[in-house]
Amino acid sequence: MEYRQADGEVEISGVTDFDIGRTFECGQCFRWNPDGSGSYTGVARGRAARVRSEDGLVYITGDLADFENIWRQYFDLDMDYASIRRSLCVDEFMERAARFGAGIRILRQDKWETLCSFIISQCNNIPRIKKIVEALCREFGDPIEFEGGEYRDFPPPERLAPLTEGDLAPLRSGYRAAYILAAARAVADGEIDLEKLAAEDCADAPRALKALPGVGDKVANCVALFGLHKLDVFPVDTWMKKVIGERYGGSLDTSVFGGYAGIAQQYMFFHARSQPPPGGGTLAGDVGNM
């Protein structure tokens, strides 16, 4: 990988398997939005940025310090996803799914933001998840100035912990409000230590997360994969049940993917969700990874 400062952006070259659209649209994050020109603008780790690709290069607004301290890790740019993708082509279907999803990278997102976002994602569709997340940030997040506009950082658990369900009424999150507050209090009080879970054995993380009210297998596994970067976790939702049923007779031994079952899951999920449904139409508004 090579990178250099270029007129208010950092130009990145030499990174294989880095497709910003597929990475942002595969259901793992909810704060990056396209502007119609192929660029995405979003907020992560207290910074707003615009990301675009052109002629095989990727450009991220900001300076080299921000790139080296934030975005290099956030986009997992030191991981060789091309090599991982080739290792996941264990059968004909995975060859197709991996080829279709080439360019997806598992973001290294803020752990608390990921937990809260996937609690919100329960029985929800991606546009509504984004709407609730943005409302949460607008009401309780710190302001971030960017390109003449104001964005909002994701509020820390300590800020949400003292609130009531009534305080969250403007989010229109329904029954999820109680779960958001319970998770915020558990993290703020140290009952759930997300940093410790990220460093522990993979099996321990989902088990600990499921102690939180409203967090079941799907949410816990999504948080482990997308927030704690446990790349061997394989979340199973309705999409994955359909794929496993149709392609693997209802049973799949994910150990065949080695330590990268979570990346395989993303290729499978993205492939399945992007296929035209019976009778035509699109899947743009369908439920995300939950």
- Which residues have C-beta within 8 Å of that of residue 194, sequence separation ≥ 6? 111, 112, 115, 187, 227, 228
- Report DSSP letters for 20-40, one per residue: HHHHHHSSS-SSEEE-SSS-E
Helix, strand counts (H, E) of the chain: 14, 8
CB 3 within 8 A of CB 10: yes
> Within a 13 Å sphere around the CA of 97, how many CA atoms are in the beta-carbon half?
24
Nearest in space to 137 (alpha carbons), one of 107, 160, 166: 160
Please tell me the distance from the alpha carbon of residue 272 to that of residue 270, in angstroms, as a whole number. Answer: 6
Q: State the DSSP code for 280.
A: S
Strands (E), 139-233: 143-146, 149-152
CB 182 within 8 A of CB 170: no
Assess whether 218 carries a catalytic annotation.
yes
Q: Which of 218, 230, 241, 242 is catalytic?
A: 218
Please tell me the distance from the alpha carbon of residue 114 to that of residue 133, in angstroms, as a whole number. Answer: 11
Residue position matching structure tokens 């003449």: 148
Q: Which two tokens stand for residue 232?
A: 């061997």
Q: Which two tokens stand for residue 170?
A: 């403007």
Catalytic residue numbers read 218
